[in-house]
Structure 1
Amino acid sequence: MFRQVSESVFASPQIGIEAVAEAKALGIVRIINNRPEGESDDQIPGDAIEAAAREAGIDYVAIPVTHAGFSQAQVDAMTQALDTADGPVLAYCRSGTRSTLLWALARAKAGDSPAVIASKAAAAGYDVTPVRQLIEMLSAGG
C-alpha cells in the first residue's frame, strides 16, 4: 500500500485507521494528508486519521490539494513538513499521485535534479509529467 518515493518519503492512496499502525511499524514519524475533506463519500475524515496518528505517537500535518493544482504555499508547507521530520514520512491522498507530485515540487524547490525526481517517482509507480515543467522551473531556482 505504501510506495517508497525516496529514502525517507512514502506515498499512499487514502489510508484507514489500521494503516497508522503499519506506518508506525515502518518507523513513520509524520503523516501528511494531502486530501481535502469531503472529496468523496467513502473518505476517512482527516481528524480520525490525525487522532489515530497522535495516539500512536506520529505527527500529523494536513496540506490539502484540490484538483485545481498546486500553489506556492502548498509547496512551501510540504517542504517544511518534509524538512522538519525526524524520520520517514508518509503522505497520502486519494491515489497517492497528488502527494507524489507535491513531494516532487518540494524536492525541485530544494534543488534536486528533475531527472532524479522523475526517476524516483516512476520507480514508485507515479508519473510527474503533469508538473514536469514546474519541476524544471523550481529546480532552476525559478
Structure 2
Amino acid sequence: MADIRTINDRISVAPQIAPDDLAAIRAAGFVAIVNNRPDEEEAGQPSGEAIRAAAEAQGLAYTAIPVTHAGFSHPQLDAMAAALVAADGPVLAYCRSGTRSCNLWALAAAKAGRDPEVLVQQARAAGYDLGGLRPTLDALAAAHPAADEAPPQA
C-alpha cells in the first residue's frame, strides 16, 4: 500500500495509489478519496476512472481535483474544501508524491481561515515543507472575513 502520511484527523496524503490499495485504505478508516493527479501525467499510472471505480466499489466517496503544472486555482481550493466538508470522516488525497495534495489542502484550509502557522506545523510533521507557500497561506487566511471562526479542520 501507498506511503500514507497523516496531516490531521481529517486529511492524509499519499503518493499514487492503485485500485488494489482501496480495500486496505477503507480498512484503515478512510471514507473518501481525493485524486489530485491528472490522467496520463506519467506512463503506467492508474487512470482516475480506475481509482474511482475501485473506491466506489469499496463504498468510498471519490473526487477528482487534478492539479497540473499550471498550479493552483481558487476553484480547486474550493473543491478541496468542499470534498473535506462533505466527507463524514477521514479523507485520503493523493498525487504523484503527496506534495500537491498537501499543498492543496493547506491552501484550501488557509482560504477557510485556518492559522497558517498551524498548517505549516501539521505539514512539517507529515514530512512536507510549506515554506514556499507561506506568503500565499498568510494572504489567503488574512482575506478570510472570519478567520478566528473557521472550522477547525476545513
Q: Which residue of 2 aligns with 1:29?
A: 31
Structure 1 residues 1-142: aligned runs within 5 Å: 1-141=3-143
Alignment partners' CA distance in 2, 1:137 and 1:19: 37
Alignment partners' CA distance in 2, 1:131 and 1:21: 34
Structure 2 unaligned blocks of 5 or more? 145-154
What is the TM-score normalised by the length of structure 1?
A: 0.97
Return the offset for 1:76: 0.5
Provide the aligned length of Structure 1 versus Structure 2: 142
Return the offset for 1:141: 1.6
Deviation string 1:27-70 (CA, Å, 9 cap, x unpaired) is 11110000011100021111001000000000100000012210
* Matched letter for residue 27 of structure 1: G
Alignment partners' CA distance in 1, 2:80 and 2:20: 24
Q: Calculate percent identity across the aligned residue pairs.
A: 52
Partner SS state of residue 101, structure 2: helix
Give structure 1 regions of 4+ aligned residues with deviation exceeding 4 angstroms.
none
Output the aligned Cα RMSD. Answer: 0.9
Indicate the structure whose relative CO is greater, using CA pairs within 8 Å and at least 6 residues apart: 1
